[in-house]
Amino acid sequence: MPQAEALQGEPLDTDLLRNQEKLKQEFSLCSDIIYRECCMEGTLKAIIVYIDGMSDVQGLDEAVLRPLMNHFRQQADAEEAGEKAGHENLWLPTMQVNKAHSRDEVVKAILRGETAILLEGESYALVADLVSLEKRSVEEPTSEKVVRGPRDGFLESLRTNVSLIRRRLRTPLLKVESLQAGEMTRTNIALVYIEGVAKETLVDEIRTRLGRIVVDGILDSGNVEELIEDNVISPFPQIQNTERPDVAASSLMEGKVVVIVDNSPFVLVLPMTYWSALQAADDYTGHYLYATFVRWVRYTFVHVSLLLPSLYVALTTFHPQVIPTPLVISIASAREGIPFPAVIEAFLMEFIFEGLREAGIRLPQQVGPAVSIAGALVIGQSVVAAGIVSTPLIIIVSLTGIASFAFPLYNAGTAFRMLRFPLLIVAGMLGFYGIVLFLIALSVHLVMLKPFGVPYMAPYAPMVPENLNDVLIRAPKWSMRKRMRWLAGRNLERFPKRKRP
């Protein structure tokens, strides 16, 4: 059996009952800790300690108890024959068995769901990997739907998530490093990358930041994301999260790094760029011409969701001369009798729409969509009939809401939704000039962002011509030969230069 290095802490005693008492003190008031005693002819020989619900009880009986009893019988026979009897010949048919020489190491193993076997007369414990946790089956991701593509998604199990990636990347160059974070949770974290494809400096930087995490608990990958991102005041996401194994595998082949956090179905893909936030998984599973068309539709709707309410406020308040005369007359007649300025009117309706969206998310799945639709219809009709809001603004807010659903990534959409409100205020104060100044400041901010040293607007700022075939357009797969040099390490080529297949 392989030996594990002893951790610093109080060493175990050779007295079995004394070790049991110390463990009971450590786990005082923990009713789910099970102590199973193994006796031979009335003599206590071993104590098995595990957490109820986290260990495989059936496997424990077959892989631990039965071999233990056979070992104790052979030990008794050897003692009767006058031979020296020890535990050197004990063999447990489990996946992994280690030796723990300190009480701290035994406690940590039990809390991980492993099974500790304390032996009489030995100053070490055997730790058997018999973890058995309840988990749901592999299902289609709910937050990243695709028309064509794989239907499996990540789970809350770190081992399962790593295996879903390895099913797609069957290469020894795929490296998986294990870390732990959280003083209380001791959450397992996996750092995944492809050696030679990912930059060594990028991997070292991410490994360093993960190692610097000092916090009481990590319960989700979002906790890790918040602790390692660069610009914490930026509304734009700098780390991508995904439920799709195919997206994670594709990102690894681009030179990115994946961080998997135990107990979370969302894995982190880093670093993230502005353009990757607007690209969907099924852009790469359909025909490239259709993918390019859909990408342009998506880009248009994404920016409409940010600018449309502000443009309406600026046009109706400061620049009505830009609007055709019949349309100006129609808008003016619709706004007749409205008590609020256009900016207050738009701000109020946008706020109500965001409230309806949030209510639809929090309500039970069976009634959430119905309540959201009914609420929007009733409130929209009521505020127009009461003369509080004009009809054109209802159309503007509806179009903005529809456009906001075009975001492939939820956290990218939240950034634009938040920016819509300060842009409304600026448009209500300065008109077109305020919108232009806001967009200039926003562009400067995006260009200055460099998550993990990678420019956020790459490959457009700075310009990388060989990588422009997968930004505004989606070129055929055979023409995308080069990886982005800001991400990839030594291996910049996806395949050697040759003719189209």
How many domains is the chain partitioned into structurally? 3
3-state helix, strand, coil in the chain (%, to 5): 45, 15, 40
**Whether 372 contacts 401, CB under 8 Å:** no
Sign of the alpha-carbon torsion through 20, 21, 24, 29: positive
Q: Is residue 476 part of a domain?
A: no
> Do 108 and 216 fall into the same domain?
no
Whether 38 and 46 have beta carbons less than 8 Å apart is answered as: yes
Burial class of residue 405 (count of CB atoms within 10 Å of its CB; 0-12, 13-18, 19+): exposed
Is 294 found in the same domain as 425? yes
Same domain assignment for residues 371 and 258:
no
Please, are residues 12 and 109 in contact by the beta-carbon 8 Å criterion? no
| Cβ atoms of 279 and 254 closer than 8 Å | no
Same domain, 27 and 111: yes
**Which residue range(s) make up the domain with 318?**
286-453
412 shares a domain with 292:
yes
Same domain, 92 and 41: yes
pLDDT value, residue 371: 64
Q: Is 23 in the same domain as 91?
A: yes
Domain membership of residue 111 (yes or no) is yes
Q: Are residues 447 and 314 in the same domain?
A: yes
Tell me, what's the pLDDT at 441? 95
Is residue 240 situated within a structural domain? yes
Domain contains 244:
yes
Q: What is the pLDDT of residue 377?
A: 65
| Cα(132)–Cα(56) distance, integer angstroms | 5
Query: Which ranges of the chain have pLDDT less than 70?
Result: 1-8, 82, 84-86, 88-89, 94-95, 365-377, 498-501
Residue 357 shares a structural domain with residue 407: yes
The answer to whether position 471 is within a domain reads: no
Q: Given this model, what pLDDT does residue 195 score?
A: 92
In a domain, 221, yes or no: yes
pLDDT at 6 (0 to 100):
39
Measure Cα distances from 283 to 286, 292, 377, 460 in Å: 6, 8, 34, 20
Give Cα 56 distance to the centre of its chain.
28
**Whether residue 316 sits in one domain with residue 263:** no
Verify that 239 and 167 share a domain, yes or no.
Answer: yes
Looking at 453, 480, 496, which one is the last position of a domain?
Answer: 453
